[in-house]
Amino acid sequence: MRTNIGETKGIILFTRNYKEKDKLVKIFTESYGKLMFYVKGASRPNNPLAAAILPFSKATFVGDFRGEGLSFLNSYKFLTSYTKIQEDIFISAYATYILGLVDAAIDDRVYDPALFGFVSEALALLNEGQDPEVITAIFEVQMLERFGVRPVWDQCAVGGERSGRFDYSFKYNGVICEKHFALDPHRLHADPRAIYFLRMFSAIRYDQIQSISVKPATKQAIRSVLDQLYDEYVGIHLKSKKFIDDMQKWADVMKRPEQEEG
């Protein structure tokens, strides 16, 4: 069995109880991709690894990274605990969904440092209090490529037009401009503002989003388009996504303030 004793940055994807006091911990590592780790005695309060394997944690992990089977953790350093995510049920719902998409999009042991960096940025911004719906929408639209889907966002998929009013067409696998709407009567007929933001989100970097704020109605329209894209192209149904959908039904009870479009 191929093993590699060393260290790598890693983000906790999820943990599961195993036997009476142990845990299986799924970690997305920068150097080895996703790996499942066996942590003996993880449920004991004095376990030295306990703090580092909490949900929404990032650290440099030292251990035995195996090419097959379970890997093993020895220690950690440089721990980052995303405490705002851990403490806020709304934010943690979006973070859980983002991590679930990562787990679904790539196989275990697939080296993908670019995706590792992208996830790190998303979690950091969620922890800073940036709009979780916007952060998640950017993540979702750019993650389509990891699922083998490459929609045309930057220009009309028919004529190459780059400005004007657009809609999304499954027939042409991308946006089409108003001039070509008649070519696809089954286009989404989406809110033009939602398509405008999704075109922006498809190419934006997270360090460019400080000035973006979106009205609640536009967020709902963006969500509708993304749901249709994922249903058509990806076909996964994560429990974390259902939880987010259900949150909308009782969000009024929790009275979370909404940001307005600037």
CATH for the stretch 5-81? 2.40.50.140
pLDDT of residue 212: 80
The pLDDT assigned to 260 comes to: 46
Contact status, residue 65 vs residue 71, Cβ threshold 8 Å = yes
Closest CA to 142 of 98, 183, 187, 111: 98
Residue 262's pLDDT is what? 42
Enumerate the CATH 1.20.1440.120 domain ranges in the chain, comma separated. Answer: 88-250
CA 104, CA 236: separation in Å to the nearest integer?
Answer: 8
Q: What is the mean pLDDT of the chain?
A: 92
- Which residues of the chain are in CATH 2.40.50.140 domains? 5-81
Q: pLDDT band for position 1 (50/70/90)?
A: low
pLDDT of 201: 97
pLDDT at 172 over 90: yes
Nearest C-alpha neighbor of 77 from the set 61, 56, 57: 61
Reported as a single tens digit per residue, the pLDDT across 54-97 is: 999 999 999 999 999 999 999 999 999 999 999 999 999 999 99
3-state DSSP call for residue 5?
strand
DSSP readout, 13-38? EEEEEETTTEEEEEEEETTTEEEEEE
Nearest to 35 by CA among 65, 75, 80: 65
Q: Which two tokens stand for residue 172?
A: 């042409």
pLDDT tens by residue, 127-142: 999 999 999 999 999 9
Average pLDDT, integer, range 208-213: 80
Closest CA to 8 of 106, 119, 113, 125: 113
CA–CA dist 50, 39 (Å, integer): 9
Amino acid at 226: L
Would you place residue 259 in the very low, low, confident or very high pLDDT band (cuts 50, 70, 90)? very low
| Residue 185 pLDDT exceeds 50 | yes
Query: pLDDT of 3-61, one tens digit each?
Result: 688 999 999 999 999 888 899 999 999 999 999 999 998 888 889 999 999 999 999 99
The superfamily (CATH) of domain 88-250 is Recombination protein O, C-terminal domain (1.20.1440.120)
| Dist CA 168 CA 248 (whole Å) | 25
